[in-house]
Amino acid sequence: MELGILFGVFAFLLLIGTPVAAALAVSTLVAALALGLPEIALVQQMTANLSSVSLLAIPLFIFAGELMLRGGISERIIALAAALVGRLRGGLGQVSVVASTLFGGVSGSAIADVSAVGGAIIPQMIERGYQRDYAVNVTISAALVALLVPPSHNMILYSAAAGGGISITDLFLAGIFPALMLAVAIMVTAYIVARQRGYAAEPFPGFGAILRRLVAAIPGLLLVGIIFFGIKSGIFTAIESATVAVIYAVLITVLVYRKLKWPDFLHAISGAVQSTGRILFVIGAAGAFGWLMAYLQAPAQAVDLMQSIAHDRTTVLILMVLALLVLGTFMDMAPLVIIATPIFLPVARAYEVSPVHFGVIMILSCGIGLLTPPVGSVLFIGAAIGKIDVAKTVKGLWPFYIAMLAVLMTVVLWPPLSLSLPQWAK
């Protein structure tokens, strides 16, 4: 009964347009009052969920991404990508994918990725005769790669939602091969669509230009190596790596690229504070929501339900993926990861699925929700940049949906794709 109240009030509030964090908090309060629980218990759970030390890495990585966004990194990455793949059919579409993949390793955020790369690439594509839906769809699809590569703060959220017992380094490693597969799948799809529409290739700038642009982009790209090898070698923790990332971002953008000015620095602080505030509010509200679900034994009921429906691991994973894809159509990624992890992870463990493997499945499944209406934030940002109606964008997005779903099912059915790199690195 109380579980029905919890989910019923939450679903109703979402349907009437209530922000997700507020919907989580209000539905939790209503269900707690129905149970006769003291309100102070909810406040304690909200604050307890925010006391995880690993969460300190999130605002720092966001700040580092904001600095890189405003400090000249994206322009140099786009220039390098143009030199590398611009000569392929639909050249600027290919540039968008490679640039998003490289920049994703710096920002760790799909929204930052589509804002930085899309803001530069989409207008250029439209000016050169690419249709608006193609320009937007290639860019927003490629932005999902950022969710799977270091320093993805969604991986950190998943680890925190799982109780902090999952290695963030292993999660970072596990996402690399699926991220590369996703990038290749989107590039192939972009090529096929470009060929059908008759888009031309960009002229080859020469190997000298490639070398010069690579040298210019290396200082920014080194951030990924610093984060990855620093954590893996034990030189610093994930939180310390985020701190190093901020310091490195300041040094590179101020001393090397000399692009970051004082107003840009203030805007980076403002953007990081706003993003962090939204994420932490969601984390706190979702923490109380998850605690109440555990109190009402929702995870155990989910395990029993799955065991009654299916008896093999593959079928259970596919059912959970379908559930995440549906939930992703009306929930943003951060709250969905925080809410769904305590429910679905025990089910995955019951079927002996590695929590690292399941983390990649969850991040990619929830990420696809960022491109699906009515709440797909990356979809709406891309459409706004491209000045195109969302409905027209979605109409031309289906080839990219197919590519993304194919990669997702490969990740589900072939665990070594995610687990081989973490196992090899041990």
Cβ pair 341, 388 in contact under 8 A: no
Each residue of 307-356: pLDDT tens digit? 677 678 888 898 889 888 888 877 778 778 888 888 888 888 888 889 99
Tell me what pLDDT residue 143 has: 84
Alpha-carbon gap, residue 412 to 201, rounded angstroms: 35
φ, ψ (nearest 5 deg) of residue 33: -65, -40
Tell me what pLDDT residue 86 has: 66
100: pLDDT strictly greater than 70? yes
Closest alpha carbon to 282 in 339, 235, 325:
339
Each residue of 253-303: pLDDT tens digit? 888 888 888 888 888 888 778 877 777 777 777 777 777 777 777 666 766
Task: Give me the residue label for tokens 């692009």.
Answer: 259
103: pLDDT strictly greater than 80? no
Tell me what pLDDT residue 181 has: 93
pTM: 0.78
53: pLDDT strictly greater than 80? no
CA 397 to chain centre: 19
366-383 average pLDDT score: 79
Tell me what pLDDT residue 105 has: 59
Tell me what pLDDT residue 267 has: 85
In order of 85, 230, 239, 244, the CA distances from 236 in angstroms are: 35, 6, 8, 9
Average pLDDT score, the chain: 80
Alpha-carbon gap, residue 104 to 75, rounded angstroms: 14
Range of the domain at 150: 2-425
127-137 average pLDDT score: 83
Query: Highest mean pLDDT range out of 4-13, 121-130, 243-252, 402-411?
Result: 402-411
Q: How many domains does the chain have?
A: 1
